[in-house]
């Protein structure tokens, strides 16, 4: 299929309901073979300001739409995404590299947020509070915050957009989106479907740019933008938070992770191995919630490692468009070099590579299992973001909780065991926003996604996900006698 002839193949920015061309463009390439996919409009700060102005104008009308009317348009957007799953997934695989089956899963997952928040739009309830004086009545309403600046990453270029945009639009906000310069095509395809769904001009805008810095500066300093929602690295999240602080903007940050995966000796080992494979190697390990540190109780170490090794050996590395592929390419050269350096540091300090550990041709890295890892190694402190399973051992529950919490991050965590008293203790003791108990897959539109510590704040998905796009207003009614 020639993707360039499809209606969803867009290379222009989308501002105020119009497709905007630019003389300057930047290249989007396929990480599988570095082939050119598209030359995309390279917007500047003035384009971003223009988009914000139009979003501000559109907000005056969109925020006054009934919840039911907004819901109807969102549901149409959801339906169009499902009708175009195959094209959206193929486009996603071409620009990001993940296996096509995973891309299909991501598109469906992303669409589920649109459906969910289309329904939540009609459930933004307020309160009536008993008055504090005889002649007083108290009511509470919720109102949309205004224009939202959203910045999304390359690893989930479709789902990370819908997870932010859907609740914002459902609440009555308008959006200016800056997708990753590595994967803008999925965002533009969603804009095409949004246009078909009937969103008024200016409600949903997309600024594509090779250099994200001036776009980020405009979004964080422009007074018309009332909220920033960002998914990406902790370092960039801190910069955006600092810039936004001058105007005390509302900010939601979903940042880096260093997820522990704990297996106690009473666990179902086979189930734990399966959960580990799902969590570790999905998207070539390039997810913020994937397993980073595997902690095995000493008595089950060899059995678990043996079974995990056999599973890893079965993984096929290759082109994401090949149905036999389990692990696609890394996103770019720096990602591959980072993993090479992490392994070099680990082995120099005593770690042992059981499987893999080598760079393959192009941007591929072999699925790797490394044992005898300890907290002194860089691989223990940094987010791996690659197909490397790092194994540690522990003796006691108290020891592993200390090890698991010994990180600046607090996004996702996982553990396997059967002792329900211990399950409660460990789940409560882990300093993470999300805990997978006997499960390696925790992402769903019905649950609140987000972290603590330097993994950020705010929640996406579930009934909590729309709250970050709303202001609470208290009204005190006097003279009611």
237 neighbors 457 (Cβ within 8 angstroms) = no
Q: Is residue 268 part of a domain?
A: yes
- For residues 168 and 276, membership in a common domain is answered with no
- For residues 308 and 347, membership in a common domain is answered with yes
Based on the residue annotation, tell me whether 120 is a catalytic residue of this protein.
no
Q: What is the pLDDT of residues 336-374, one digit of tens each?
A: 999 999 999 999 999 999 999 999 999 999 999 999 999
Dihedral of the alpha carbons of 4, 10, 12, 14, in degrees to the nearest 10:
170
Kindly report the CATH number assigned to the domain that includes residue 303: 3.40.309.10
Q: What is the pTM of this model?
A: 0.96
- For residues 239 and 283, membership in a common domain is answered with no
Specify the residue for token string 């994937």. 290
Q: What is the pLDDT of residues 231-285, one digit of tens each?
A: 999 999 999 999 999 999 999 999 999 999 999 999 999 999 999 999 999 999 9
Based on the residue annotation, tell me whether 254 is a catalytic residue of this protein.
yes
**Domains held by the chain: number:** 2
Q: What is the pLDDT of residues 141-187, one digit of tens each?
A: 999 999 999 999 999 999 999 999 999 999 999 999 999 999 999 99
- For residues 17 and 143, membership in a common domain is answered with yes
Strands laid side by side in the 250-254 sheet: 18-20, 13-15, 204-206, 174-178, 147-151, 225-231, 250-254, 456-457
Distance between CA atoms of 393 and 381, rounded to whole angstroms? Answer: 16
- For residues 263 and 252, membership in a common domain is answered with no
Positive/negative CA dihedral, 320, 321, 322, 324: positive
Q: Is residue 280 part of a domain?
A: yes
Confidence band of 2 (pLDDT split at 50, 70, 90): confident
Three-state secondary-structure class, residue 7 = coil
Q: Is residue 480 part of a domain?
A: no
Give pLDDT, residue 191.
Answer: 98
Q: Is residue 180 part of a domain?
A: yes
Kindly report the CATH number assigned to the domain that includes residue 150: 3.40.605.10
Q: Closest Cα partner for 321 from 82, 35, 110, 108?
A: 35
* Residue 277 token pair: 């494979």
Catalytic residue (choose from 195, 254, 383, 460): 254
Q: What is the pLDDT of residues 4-49, one digit of tens each?
A: 999 999 999 999 999 999 999 999 999 999 999 999 999 999 999 9
Catalytic residue (choose from 43, 173, 276, 288): 288
| Distance separating the N- and C-terminal Cα atoms of the chain | 72
- For residues 289 and 421, membership in a common domain is answered with yes
The CA–CA distances, whole Å, from 196 to 6, 78, 149, 358 equal 15, 11, 22, 46
pLDDT at 1 over 70: no
Q: Is residue 379 part of a domain?
A: yes
422 neighbors 397 (Cβ within 8 angstroms) = yes
Q: Closest Cα partner for 62 from 20, 17, 19?
A: 17
Q: Is 154 exposed, middle or buried (CB count within 10 Å of its CB: 0-12, 13-18, 19+)?
A: buried
170 neighbors 118 (Cβ within 8 angstroms) = yes
According to DSSP, the residues that pair with 127 across neighbouring strands are 140
- For residues 402 and 297, membership in a common domain is answered with yes
SS3 per residue for 348-369: HCCCEEEECCCECCCCCECCEE
Q: Is residue 388 part of a domain?
A: yes
Give the Cα-Cα-Cα angle 280, 105, 36 (nearest 5 degrees): 90
Positive/negative CA dihedral, 48, 51, 56, 57: positive
- Residue 371 contacts by C-beta under 8 Å, 6 or more apart in sequence? 305, 351, 352, 354, 391
Q: What is the pLDDT of residues 282-333, one digit of tens each?
A: 999 999 999 999 999 999 999 999 999 999 999 999 999 999 999 999 999 9
Distance between CA atoms of 411 and 453, rounded to whole angstroms? Answer: 8
Element housing 250 (H / E)? strand 250-254
The CA–CA distances, whole Å, from 440 to 262, 342, 474 equal 11, 24, 42
- For residues 166 and 68, membership in a common domain is answered with yes
4 phi, psi to nearest 5 deg: -70, -15
pLDDT at 101 over 80: yes
- For residues 375 and 245, membership in a common domain is answered with no
Domain hosting residue 334, numbered range? 259-406+412-444
Q: Is residue 449 part of a domain?
A: no
- For residues 268 and 394, membership in a common domain is answered with yes
- For residues 227 and 333, membership in a common domain is answered with no
- For residues 156 and 245, membership in a common domain is answered with yes
* Residue 184 token pair: 């803008």
């Amino acid at each position: 299929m020639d993707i360039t002839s499809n209606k969803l193949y867009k290379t222009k920015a989308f501002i105020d309901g119009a497709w905007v061309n630019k003389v300057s463009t930047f290249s989007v390439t396929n990480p599988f073979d570095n082939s050119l996919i598209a030359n995309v409009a390279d917007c500047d700060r003035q384009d971003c300001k223009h988009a914000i102005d139009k979003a501000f104008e559109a907000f005056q009308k969109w925020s006054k739409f009934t919840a039911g009317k907004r819901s109807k348009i969102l549901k149409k957007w959801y339906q169009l995404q499902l009708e175009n799953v195959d094209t959206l997934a193929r486009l996603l695989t071409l620009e990001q590299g993940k296996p096509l089956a995973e891309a299909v899963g991501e598109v469906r997952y992303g669409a589920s947020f649109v459906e969910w928040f289309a329904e939540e739009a009609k459930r933004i309830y307020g309160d009536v509070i008993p008055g504090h004086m005889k002649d007083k009545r108290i009511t509470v309403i919720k109102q949309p915050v205004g224009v939202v600046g959203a910045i999304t990453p390359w690893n989930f270029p479709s789902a990370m957009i819908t997870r932010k945009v859907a609740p914002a639009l459902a609440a009555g906000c308008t959006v200016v989106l800056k997708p990753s310069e590595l994967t803008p095509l999925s965002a533009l395809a969603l804009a095409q479907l949004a246009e078909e769904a009937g969103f008024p001009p200016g409600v949903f805008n997309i600024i594509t740019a090779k250099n994200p810095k001036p776009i980020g500066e405009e979004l964080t300093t422009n007074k018309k933008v009332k909220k920033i929602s960002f998914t990406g690295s902790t370092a960039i999240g801190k910069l955006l938070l600092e810039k936004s602080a001058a105007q005390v903007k509302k900010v939601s940050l979903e940042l880096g992770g260093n997820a522990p995966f704990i297996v106690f000796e009473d666990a179902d080992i086979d189930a734990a191995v399966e959960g580990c494979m799902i969590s570790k190697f999905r998207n070539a390990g390039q997810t913020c919630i994937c397993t980073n540190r595997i902690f095995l109780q000493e008595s089950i170490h060899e059995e678990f490692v043996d079974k995990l090794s056999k599973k890893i050996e079965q993984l096929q590395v290759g082109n994401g468009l090949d149905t036999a592929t389990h692990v696609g390419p890394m996103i770019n050269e720096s990602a591959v070099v980072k993993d090479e350096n992490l392994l070099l540091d680990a082995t120099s300090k005593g770690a042992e590579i059981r499987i893999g550990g080598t760079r393959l041709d192009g941007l591929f890295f072999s699925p790797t299992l490394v044992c005898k890892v300890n907290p002194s190694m860089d691989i223990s402190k940094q987010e791996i973001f690659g197909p490397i399973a790092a194994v540690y051992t522990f003796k006691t529950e108290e020891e592993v909780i200390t090890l698991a919490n010994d990180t600046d991050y607090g996004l996702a965590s996982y553990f396997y065991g059967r002792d329900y008293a211990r399950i409660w203790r460990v789940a409560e003791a882990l300093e993470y926003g999300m805990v997978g108990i006997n499960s390696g897959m925790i992402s769903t539109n019905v649950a609140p996604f987000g972290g603590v510590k330097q993994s950020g704040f705010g929640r996406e998905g579930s009934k909590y996900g729309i709250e970050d796009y709303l202001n609470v207003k208290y009204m005190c009614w006097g003279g009611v006698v």
